[in-house]
Chain A
Amino acid sequence: MAEEKEKKSNTVKILITEKRGWILSGVKHYKAGEIAEIDLDTYESMKAHVKHIVK
């Protein structure tokens, strides 16, 4: 349970609003309108380059 909580606090859920979508290499090509749950390090890297809304 504690582990589950810790995992959740280290991730962020985002709604991709970028028309072209976003590729998380080796995982998925997220299209606009899809929700991605990603770790904070990945979020820090992509947030300035891909339009999104934090859920």
Chain B
Amino acid sequence: MAITVDPEAIPQDDIGGEIVLAQVDPTTYAITGFATGTTLVDIKDIALSDVVQTADKSEKKNEQGETRRVSYKYNLMTTGEIMQGDKGTLDFMASSTKDTAWLEFKKTGQVAGQDQWYVKIVNITPQLKISRGQGNTNTPYESVGIFPQTAVTYTATILATLIALLTLTDFPTAAVTIPVSEGFAIAEGAF
């Protein structure tokens, strides 16, 4: 999509939150099951999230030390703090995430009249943190993007199933393709 000048595209404060996860086969990237709460999960309240792409840079220099070319390897990551501290959430984050791959939809909020979701296939770091005495319980969320071997498309029918089973709002309804080169897609849903 081309870049345009659009003040409405400047995100407002206090938006974002919500991570929708569907467990996928690590080879075919197909959703392994539609069991709400176990293989399909909606983590609604997230504090302080970040969705980032970083690049490891490699500069190719000639004998005079002049850079002639730069190559990059990309890293995709989502981090945040999960606000819920119930047993189901803690068990999921500490245990269910082990040795599994997930299709992650991270809501990044309302921008330019659309609800924006950042979509990628991830491994979730299994971890747990229970804090007391300094405000909320915050279990950290961290996922690392997996670049698919082959471009993979999730159809509108699959998205409609997720919407129905998890009672999602503002979720993308048009098919989403995760390309090999980027490893992620930005999808939009009307709110």
B152 interface contact, C-beta 8 A: yes
B149 interface contact, C-beta 8 A: yes
- Among B155, B158, B181, chain A packs the most CB atoms within 10 A around the CB of B155
On whether A23 and B155 interact (CB within 8 A), knowing A45-B175, A45-B176, A45-B177, the answer reads no
A-B contact pairs, 17 of them (CB 8 A): A20-B180, A22-B151, A22-B153, A23-B28, A23-B150, A23-B152, A23-B153, A26-B31, A26-B158, A29-B150, A45-B174, A46-B151, A46-B175, A49-B177, A49-B179, A49-B180, A49-B181
CB neighbours (8 Å) of A45 from chain B are 153, 174-177
On whether A25 and B179 interact (CB within 8 A), knowing A20-B149, A44-B174, the answer reads no
Kindly state the separation between the CA atoms of A25 and B181 in the bound complex, as whole angstroms.
Answer: 18
Task: Enumerate chain A interface residues (CB-CB to B < 8 A).
Answer: 18, 20-27, 29, 39, 41-42, 44-46, 48-50
Do B153 and A46 touch (CB < 8 A)?
yes
Number of interface residues of B (CB under 8 A): 21
- The interface residues of chain B, by DSSP majority, are classed as loop
Task: Enumerate chain B interface residues (CB-CB to A < 8 A).
Answer: 28-31, 148-156, 158, 174-177, 179-181
Do A42 and B179 touch (CB < 8 A)?
no
Complex: chain A residue closest to B174, CB-CB: A41
Complex: chain A residue closest to B149, CB-CB: A20
- Among A18, A24, A25, A44, chain B packs the most CB atoms within 10 A around the CB of A25
The residue that A22 contacts in the complex, of B31, B150, B175, with Cβ under 8 A, is B150
